Structure 1
Amino acid sequence: EFCYSDTPHISAMQLEGIEDNVILIDSVSKRYSECGIRIGALITKNKQVRKDVMKFCQARLCPPLIGQIVA
């Protein structure tokens, strides 16, 4: 994270007792104002959330049929 003072940054990922309830979502385009760069991350310690998110990621690995035909 960007810190503009001497106060140290504390991430919610560091807090004890809420590990399974924290999901961090970040992207290059939002953090650095780089429009169109589609690189991002979803970070969580919750194994069930990771498992469910991976299902969506794997389902979107190929473009839809109409997109393939047009290309």
Structure 2
Amino acid sequence: MTDRASARAAKSALAARFATDPGVAAVGLSRQDAEYVVRVDLTDAGAGARVPHHVDGVRVVTHVIGTVRPL
């Protein structure tokens, strides 16, 4: 089971890696199946191929949310 501290470290690593990637809208933490995972929100499904399934033993999940626009 992944604890919050491990998930935060993995999140920081992924956020730095994808900071300038236009296909990645956000990197955050989420709870799934009683453990923490890193959630990566994508602007398009094609960007998902660049996102690893695990980072430092922490599971990574992706969600396509589409283009983010200001209100």
Q: Tell whether the structures are fold-level matches, with TM greater than 0.5.
A: no
Q: TM-score, normalised by structure 2?
A: 0.29
Higher relative contact order (CA 8 A, sep 6+): 2
Higher strand share: 2
Give 1 or 2 for the bigger CA radius of gyration. Answer: 1
